Chain A
Amino acid sequence: MSSVVAETHHAHEVHSHELPWPQQLRANRIGLWLFMFSEVFLFAALLVARFVLWNDPETGAITRPELSQELGLLTTVVLLLSSFFMNRAETAMEVGDRKRFLNGLLTTAILGTLFFIGVVFMEWNIFGLSGTLFGIELFGHLKPSDGVISGIFFAMTGMHAIHVLSGIIFILIVWNNGRKGHYSPEKHWGVEACAIYWHYVDVVWVFYYPALYLIGTAVHSM
């Protein structure tokens, strides 16, 4: 680490003129929230597309494809639980409890990974598996080639899954730096940003889950 940083230091360089930390922190917070607001338009556009593509063009009735309710509920519970541990980790950092902070982050990352597996490997079923557990069908049946009924499903879950994946990577980076002792109760913007991002991705799913799994009537084909 130090060797690389040392290369950027040169005697003749003009000394940098960074913002004082309280001002920079305020800028960071506004910037992150603006980015989150920007992403609202991304997710909302896909949500609107779901209603345009899946509603009955004649009657306007809300319809959706048949999906495994058990699988959807399970992944949703896992993701919502992860937010609880994220919050636990962040408050632990605020009071300086490093152990609970690290454990909370790791639990969040594991639960996030479980959610990701639930969507990509089970719901999407990219390896074409089949199997049941306690009578519950474990793998989804929609394929990308199923036409309009599957397109927006993959688009919405896929866009959300990319955000979950980047969130997991973000958490692991913060965890790794936290392990090296990088954050303090006074100064832990990385942790805060990571937590806000993770909660945000969670809240998106709070809208996407009912839109995909719950509202309207299930139909076999469109």
Chain B
Amino acid sequence: MAESAADVLPIRSGDDIVRVRQQVRIRAVAAGFSLVDQTKLVTAASELARNTLDHGGGGRVRIESVDLGGRRGVRLTFEDEGPGIPDIARALQDGFTTGTGLGLGLGGAKRLTNEFSIDSAPGKGTRIVIARWKSV
């Protein structure tokens, strides 16, 4: 798998979320995504960046362009050292929230991407990896 250099952006404020969206958009355009695919990935990134800020107490995202046998995509890795998610299955349900949002963040981000994985435990922080591939 060939990969170009990754960007790592901090997520410490609302303004950082805006920068994450902009950078993800640039990568999605470079990978040849359609406008709808760009919009889905940027929206998923926005949801997860907000989770990192609101629930994880801040963290970072790693943004990578990926190429799997000629199929191009963008992979995002969100990490924080926050309280972690005690019950991941429940956190993925629509409408479940411990914050002030609508509780659509995790489940919504999962629906908007092709690959989704969570690694989290109470007290250990959270790591979420998503990827979306260019539609063929």
Chain A complexes with chain B: no
